[in-house]
Amino acid sequence: MADALSASETLEAVDRSLSAELAGFLSGLSGRVAPAHLAAAGNCVIDTLGAIAYGCAQPWSMAAARHALATGGGGACTVVGLADRASPAMAAFANGTAAHAFELDDVHEEAVNHPGAVVVPAALAVAEELDASGLAFLEAVVVGYEAMARAGLGVGPVSHMLAGFHPTSMSGVFGAAAAAAHLRGLDADRLNHAFGIAASLASGTMEFAASGGMAKRIHAGRAAEGGIMAASLAADGFEGARDGLAGRHGFCRVFTDDPRPELLVEGLGERWMIDEITVKPYASCSDVHPMVQATSELVAERDIRARQIERIAVHTTTKVVELNDMDGTASVMAAQYSAPFNVAAAVLADPSDPATFSPERIADPALATLQARVELAPDLAFDATYAWKQGARVEITTT
């Protein structure tokens, strides 16, 4: 009898779980999203479509699109840049890859993830499949951003990333699942099952920052694909873990040393993730943007030329020192992630022009020479506010 009582109590606790609470809130938003949030979603969609339009011609995006057609061709959904269509999941994979292809996708700074590149392609694909209304589509975007950013906050994003996990691909699957579930009309119970399934699909590491390759480019696409799968399985009665986000072995606990599962639900209905999105001014990792801006302003104010520079000292976060200190001339991916390269580009090029990161431009010997003069140092002041508020201090020593 004691064992039965314990099992019953455990089941009741799961029913009251943070995962279920988040699912309950999100599943009740149909027809109840304020116009201001819908307008914000529209702006995010426009920004993401621009990123897709630029990114779809990149070689890694074209490879992803070919894969999408080879494995999921013949569906109802658009693969941007191609005439052929694909299944919802594979169209979202291709378009998500394109959105994330050139570091132009929007950012939730505090969650350290890129909701647009995951949620918008997933919502577009499912909306196209179902011939959903524009209102339902925009609501799905709001719902997806809410789920993805809150999952990103709940996993303790700085610890999560420093442990080697890529936040966009890891938390993105929950955002895509929520967006797809909204369009499919899933109730709270089914959405919670989708979250439980998504917890088993979350993947993606930061190894690209150390040893390169193209794998990072597909992270948003894979999250979009996985989220659609999770919602489809849940809609068909498939059961996921009932506390996939916040349970003892849930997403927000096992991929971090700093679990913050309470942030999954804190301020629901008052704090909206769609209102906290940053649009990128540079086609590079957002964590290096403060030093790019500071360098650009300093060079312009003091009329500094590259030939005059002996040393550039950059005081920044521990995260940047550990994960963004690489040779930016090694590849396009390295250039977009490298703090020293981006500082050099702020002196010698136009960092707001994506062409600055083309293979031809990053091969410029002058950029290699100047990036070698950039030194990074961790600063506790910037660690204290990362990632909800980012900054850097730049000191240039000239001859």
10 Å Cβ neighbour count for 62?
17
**pTM value?**
0.93
Architecture label for domain 2-278: Orthogonal Bundle (1.10)
Domain ranges for the chain: 2-278, 286-398
Averaged pLDDT for residues 329-343:
95
392 near 290, Cβ under 8 Å? yes
Asked if the model's pLDDT at residue 214 lies above 70, the reply is yes
pLDDT at 388: 78
Mean of the per-residue pLDDT values for the chain?
Answer: 95
Percent of the chain with pLDDT over 90: 93
Quickly state the pLDDT bin for 91 (edges 50, 70, 90): very high
Distances (CA, A) of 101 to 64, 133, 246, 262: 10, 28, 31, 32
Query: What pLDDT, on a 0 to 100 scale, did the predictor assign at position 13?
Result: 53
Dihedral (CA of 187, 95, 215, 119) sign: negative
Structure-model confidence comparison of residues 298 and 211, the more confident one:
298
Strands 309-316 and 374-378: parallel
**The listed CATH number (3.40.50.1820, 2.60.40.10, 3.20.20.210, 3.30.1330.120) that belongs to domain 286-398:** 3.30.1330.120
Q: Take residue 191 and report the two structure tokens written for it.
A: 């959405």
